[in-house]
């Protein structure tokens, strides 16, 4: 009997090491993952992540619509009223499943690599599709230092707008970033004071940039941003902290609790503290686009061989006063022409999602489905271990007409040869 849904799988929670290691041996370092869906109660789904329209409110209308799919996640979603394991990716092995978090806990460096395991003791990043009908509130994500005050991790992130998921831009394909140069802290404080007067006017102090498929942005912590209505691929740090600084979006009220949810309780009414949570230098940077905007850069000149691998997320994040910056995550987009087979080697473990076409990965089925039911299994997502990546993964496009396109994101400091922001020029 073929297994088509998550409910047909047996969930295992202990003694998983031998099972996982045997699977990695059979697949050349790959773990197949089932889809991980996440709702947001304060947003309207954009309907471009291939979830069946009848399942948009699969968690219940009170939880909001599903507007996110998480990839290679060992991070739980910070949603009120969430179900157990919400946000966690599951590995599918035969007729059994276990969380990727459990697999990493039991197998450690075998999966994420020695350097990441030694420094973090976990898989510290994840990626997602983030898909909404309209804009979302101007907000920021706390830095590591700020998040530590409430026992959380900081959250720098990045964006890439895959053309395959952006055939339509929806209601507002523009993203606000940062603050206009010359903006003062007193002006931001006044916006907070005006929270319950309707629109608190904070967008008047920011600047919108038109979004374009096939481009992206690198966004450090404590930087204000109001993502527009593109479907976004978002490699990011493994955290779900945020603070909303905008009180009204498209007529929808944003409660004060969503501003202060990841700030110390004693500071929930301290406007000066809330203003100081922002990285002022980064927000009012007059050259903001030059320091954050990304365009794809080919890894090597391989087009004549029938495939192209491109950097889509690269550069270093500066946070908590650091001047040096760190490569906390990076990402590539692989396009394989019809009928072509290629071997791709990488320096570190990665999470992979297929966004177009049909083929094989190390001989396993790989395809991008047109429509997915809420509990349905797919053949479009895998996690690759560091050893599997360094030995090389074989991609084969079995179509005679359509490209095979995969996105894959990496953990911290594994791609020292990656470009810097601005190198696309």
The answer to whether the Cα torsion of 162, 165, 169, 174 is positive or negative is: negative
**What is the pTM for the complete model shown?**
0.96
Q: How many CB atoms lie under 10 A from the CB of residue 280?
A: 15
First to last CA, the chain: 53
Residue 286 burial (10 A CB sphere; 0-12, 13-18, 19+)? exposed
Cβ contacts of 175 within 8 Å, gap of 6 or more: 135, 159, 208, 209, 211, 217, 225, 226, 227, 228, 230
Backbone torsions φ then ψ of 237, nearest 5 degrees: -70, 150
Q: Quick one: pLDDT at residue 94?
A: 96
Q: Quick one: pLDDT at residue 318?
A: 82
Helix (H/G/I), strand (E/B), else coil: 317: strand
Q: Quick one: pLDDT at residue 296?
A: 98
Q: Quick one: pLDDT at residue 48?
A: 98
Q: Quick one: pLDDT at residue 340?
A: 98
Q: Quick one: pLDDT at residue 86?
A: 97
Fold designation for 6-410: Jelly Rolls (2.60.120)
Q: Quick one: pLDDT at residue 61?
A: 94
Mean pLDDT by 10 residues, the chain (425 residues): 90 94 98 97 94 97 96 93 95 98 98 98 98 97 96 96 98 98 98 97 98 98 98 96 96 95 98 97 96 98 98 90 84 98 98 98 98 98 98 98 98 96 97
For the chain, domain boundaries: 6-410
Q: Quick one: pLDDT at residue 15?
A: 87
Q: Quick one: pLDDT at residue 78?
A: 86
Cβ contacts of 246 within 8 Å, gap of 6 or more: 137, 138, 139, 200, 202, 203, 226, 254
**Structural tokens at position 8:** 């047909």
CA atoms of 258 and 250, how far apart (whole Å): 17
Cβ contacts of 321 within 8 Å, gap of 6 or more: none
């Amino acid at each position: 009997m073929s297994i088509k849904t998550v409910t047909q799988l047996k969930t295992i929670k202990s003694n998983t090491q031998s099972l996982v290691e045997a699977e990695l041996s059979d697949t050349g370092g790959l773990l197949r993952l089932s889809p991980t869906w996440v709702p947001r109660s304060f947003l309207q789904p954009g309907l471009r992540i291939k979830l069946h329209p009848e399942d948009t409110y699969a968690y219940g209308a009170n939880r909001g619509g599903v507007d996110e799919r998480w990839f290679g996640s060992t991070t739980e979603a910070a949603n009120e009223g969430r179900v157990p394991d919400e946000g966690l990716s599951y590995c599918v092995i035969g007729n059994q499943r276990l969380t990727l978090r459990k697999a990493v806990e039991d197998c450690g460096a075998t999966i994420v690599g020695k350097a990441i395991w030694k420094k973090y003791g976990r898989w510290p990043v994840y990626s997602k599709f983030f898909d909404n009908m309209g804009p979302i509130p101007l907000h920021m994500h706390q830095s590591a230092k700020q998040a530590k005050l409430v026992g959380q991790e900081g959250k720098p992130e990045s964006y890439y707008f895959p053309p395959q998921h952006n055939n339509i831009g929806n209601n507002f394909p523009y993203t606000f970033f940062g603050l206009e140069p010359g903006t003062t802290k007193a002006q931001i404080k006044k916006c907070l004071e005006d929270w319950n007067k309707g629109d608190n006017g904070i967008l008047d102090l920011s600047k919108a940039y038109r979004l374009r498929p096939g481009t992206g942005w690198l966004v450090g912590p404590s930087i204000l941003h109001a993502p527009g209505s593109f479907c976004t691929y978002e490699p990011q740090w493994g955290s779900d902290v945020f603070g909303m600084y905008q009180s009204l979006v498209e007529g929808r009220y944003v409660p004060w609790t969503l501003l202060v949810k990841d700030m110390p309780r004693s500071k929930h009414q301290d406007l000066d503290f809330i203003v100081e949570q922002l990285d002022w230098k980064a927000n009012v940077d007059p050259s903001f686009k030059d320091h954050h905007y990304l365009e794809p850069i080919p890894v090597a000149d391989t087009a004549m061989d029938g495939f192209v691998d491109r950097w889509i997320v690269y550069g270093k994040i500066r946070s908590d006063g650091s001047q040096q910056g760190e490569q906390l995550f990076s990402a590539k987009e692989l396009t394989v022409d019809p009928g072509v087979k290629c071997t791709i080697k990488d320096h570190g473990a990665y999470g992979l999602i297929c966004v177009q076409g049909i083929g094989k990965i190390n001989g396993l089925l790989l395809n991008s489905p047109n429509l997915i039911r809420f509990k349905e299994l797919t053949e479009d997502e895998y996690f690759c271990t560091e050893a599997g990546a360094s030995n090389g993964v074989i991609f084969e496009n079995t179509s005679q007409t359509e490209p095979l396109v995969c996105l894959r994101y990496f953990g911290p400091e594994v791609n020292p040869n990656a470009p810097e922001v601005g190198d696309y020029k």
